[in-house]
Chains A and B, each alone.
Chain A
Amino acid sequence: MKFSLSWLREHLETTATLEEICATLNTIGLEVEGVEDRGAILAPFRTARIIEATQHPNADRLRVCQVDAGEGFERVQVVCGAPNARTGLHVIFAPPGTFIPASGITIKAGKLRGEESGGMLCSLRELGLGEESDGIAELPDDTVPGQSYALFADLDDPVIDIAITPNRGDALAVRGIARDLAAAGLGELKPWLTATVESRFDTPIDWRVTFPEACPWVLGRSLRGVKNGPSPEWLRRRLESIGLRPVSALVDITNFFTFDLGRPLHVFDADKLLGSELTICRGAGETFTALDGSEHVMTPDDCVIADSRGVQSLAGIMGGAESGVSETTTNVFVECALFDPVAIALAGRRHNLHSDARQRFERGVDQALPPAALEAATRMILDLCGGEAGSVVSAGVEPAWQRQAHLEFARLETLGGLSEAPDHAVHLLERLGFAVRERDARHVVVDVPSWRNDIATPMLLDQRPDLPPARAQAAAQGAIEIDPEVDLVEEILRLRGLDSVPAVSLPLRSAVPLPALSSRQTRIAGLRRQLAARGLLETVGFSFVAMDQAAAFGETPADLHLLNPIAADLDQMRPTPLVNLLAAVRANAARGYPDLGLFEVGPGFDADGQKLIAAGIRSGHSPRLPGQPAQPVDLWQVKADALAGLAVAGAAMEGCTITADAPSYYHPGRSGVIRQGPKLVLGHFGQLHPALLAARGIDVPVCAFTLYTDAVPEPRRKRKAPPALSAFQPLRRDFAFVVAADLPAEKLLRAVKGAERNLIVAVHLFDVYEGDKVPAGHKSLGVEITLQPMDRTLTDAEIEAVCDRVVAAAQKSCNAVLRG
């Protein structure tokens, strides 16, 4: 919402400076987004007259001018290069020290080719005011020298642009802003009065409302014999100052009231309306061409204004091209209505039509103003366009907007933290237009003014349906009682300024705070640190990705497809962060960085819902070192990443098994699934499928892992028993078992471990051999076991017995035989 200072002063009697006004606007919730103050920039420039211009003795193109620039500059010598610098010309003079906006130069006094020059004569372009640069600006001959040029040219009117929050429809009016400023103590709101215009004839058009839910009250009036020419200078300037293009008097008048009072009006060319009735009704599939030329098909939810020919206006949003006023208009019909904010908001959104009228109606306009506004508009049309006014016609009734709000004075402190004298609180409310209905020492009841559609509004709750009824009812009653009070507290606080509320640190609930993170959150934090400590860089990727990219990594159910994606490649909720990580590998490789490790801990989405997934990726090769060629990344690295991550995430690693059935985007022979028990999948790892990489043009090896952190069971928090630290040395024995080539080594290790649980504390695979030293279809696995006696040294016979059990167990579960 833009307005000029002079426009504001039409409503506000104030001596406040622009800075004070802006500071107050910021304080009271009308955030200043920008100030355009040309007057301040142009302040040093003065009107002047060239007393005498003579040829410069040393330069053909320069002139030496004696200039009268008023007080203090009665006779200044200025050297000027403009061809039009001549004796008697009225000009714009910049004294030394003036900053020239267009060139960014500050004027200094000095000599030009030997002649003194004490300033500069300027073109409008140099002032940043125009393109004309064929010499210096020529002012009218009757210009008095020594005036501020900004003042002379009416350019000293600063324009303030403020952001209006959705609740403050009343501040979409210069008058509303003035009222707020006055209430905040920045001056006095000037009275606004309008006299009734006597009607000279019966308005020949009647209103008929068949959609009263959208339009409770509408007024209208004909004027005839008007002449629609350009607006007078003052009105044109006013609109231009806030960036509106003057069109014609009739259009400009409606725009003026939209911004001055926040009261949109519409003027129909009465001669273009057919029939003697305007109907406010639901749309019925008609095609409507709006004033801006856009076409819209009306729906039954739209409120339209129709004559007997068809839709002439999308009510409260935009008039129609067909019945708009033009230069030749002589008879008009002025519409002044109240529309339902919700209906307007939804219709505006439906048709994607933005207008100053919609902006105001959807926030709610002054519900009592239509009659006075119509009179004021009529007056202005008669004043600017002549003609005579008809009678006022109407349909519907003024809504019962009257309501009260009550405030316990104590609430200012118990909610607002501000200790405020009741008298002052009431005073502030009165300045905003609230009228005291009753008051005692503890509280006040006020009437809410007709323009404040945001205070003590009807109670609209959307309570959680499964709340216990008694609780829901008590909560609703609480809101009904407190809500209007809070509305008033907010009004008083914003006028006083929130900076006046003393800041109080939160009281401690315990001297030493409890952990902010749950056990699970702490484990996830540890997981991130573990993966980073293993050399992976953490990334953050978008949760939505391209559907085809997502499809390579999992299912892409339709209910995870965005209905309104911002881009075609951001349309599907990702099944796993691996989608982003692989894209990152590709992007980094393209930048010349193919060797990297990345991870992300973030959401993945599938038919079961949202999962918190830790995914990592390694690509390229290890660095080449002396005597050590570069090694491609391999699945053992990502397996180690995955297991290390899971351990920190709280998984019971003893119980984990690996199976070879990883998802299809992995290399089928070089990938594994980490499981706990037969059903629970904790993650997977492996080399990515070459076809997946080839399809993306990635020509370096890539390995990856995925951990499903939600699947990790909550670890039991039990106190650790003290460790059993044996006084006896452990002893180690090696075995070489020949097993079937396709036997998973893990199976053999488990069998060996289980052979003697009390003594075998570690089983370690140290060799795998496949070749001609073992039978075809077989391999040899070298296994070291560690025996830890606890209470005595083992005898040879005991050791022998354990080894026999190991061999037997391996034979039994894996069909393993000792290699000869």
Chain B
Amino acid sequence: MLLQYIAIAILIFLSTALAGLVIVLGELFGPRVKTNVKSMPYESGMTPIGPGTRRMPVRFYLIAMLFILFDIEIIFLLPWAVVFRKLGVFGLVEMLIFILILLVGYLYAWKKGALEWE
């Protein structure tokens, strides 16, 4: 079964080579006439004010943290789902408790307004 990963490695290699080829094709055949105006950031024709990368809202970090929390929960659910028929009622109750504990955190985040986007 582990041998199958070699096939995926081959596929990754081929598709990376293809993407590189596409970029090289564009570099080879596309004209390159540099002017100052052309290499400005595109802002619908207005002259940009200030730097392009600036501080971003903290909301995005919050979402990322919540994502990690719940993604780990899902990762635990996947192996549980595979062996579920062997576990039976025990597995169901066990997972119910696990989900309930996480649900408390979810409700807390909701009530604290972490899921609002104002």
Q: Tell me, yes or no, whether A binds B.
A: no
**Which chain B residues have a beta carbon within 8 Å of chain A's beta carbons?**
none
**Which chain A residues have a beta carbon within 8 Å of chain B's beta carbons?**
none
